[in-house]
Amino acid sequence: MAKTKKKQPSVLQTLTLPRRSVRLADHDSRATPGFSGDKAEGKASLDELGGELADLQERLYAQGRSGGKRSVLLVLQGMDTSGKGGVMRHVGGLFDPQGVHLKAFGPPSAEERRKGFLWRIRQQLPEPGRIGVFDRSHYEDVLVARVRGLSSAATIEKRYDAINTFEERLVGSGTIVVKAMLHISPDEQKERLLARLDDPTKYWKYNPGDLQERALWPEYQKAYEIALQRCNTKAAPWLVVPADRKWYRNWAIASILLETLRGMDLQWPPGDFDVDEQRRLLTESP
Binding site for Mg ion (CB under 5 A): 80
Q: How far is CA 231 from the centre of its chain?
A: 15
| Among 130, 136, 183, 246, contact with ligand AMP (rule: CB under 6 A) | 136
Cα 207 to Cα 229: distance, rounded to the nearest angstrom: 30
Cα 54 to Cα 30: distance, rounded to the nearest angstrom: 28
Which residues lie closer than 8 Å to 214 by C-beta, 6 or more apart? 79, 80, 186, 189, 190, 193
Contact (CB, 8 A) for 226 and 139: no
Residues 64-83 close enough to bind ligand AMP by CB under 6 A: 80
Contacted entry of ligand AMP, Mg ion, none for residue 107, CB cut-off 5 to 8 Å set by kind: ligand AMP
| Among 51, 107, 174, 186, contact with ligand AMP (rule: CB under 6 A) | 107
Residue number, 43 or 120, with CB nearest to ligand AMP: 120
Interaction of residue 156 with ligand AMP, rule CB under 6 A? no
Interaction of residue 192 with ligand AMP, rule CB under 6 A? no
Contacted entry of ligand AMP, Mg ion, none for residue 105, CB cut-off 5 to 8 Å set by kind: ligand AMP
Q: Minimum distance between the CB of residue 194 and Mg ion, rounded to whole angstroms?
A: 15
Give the residue among 228, 197, 201, 224 at the shortest CA–CA distance from 211: 197
Q: Minimum distance between the CB of residue 228 and Mg ion, rounded to whole angstroms?
A: 21
Interaction of residue 167 with ligand AMP, rule CB under 6 A? no
Q: How far is CA 205 from the centre of its chain?
A: 21
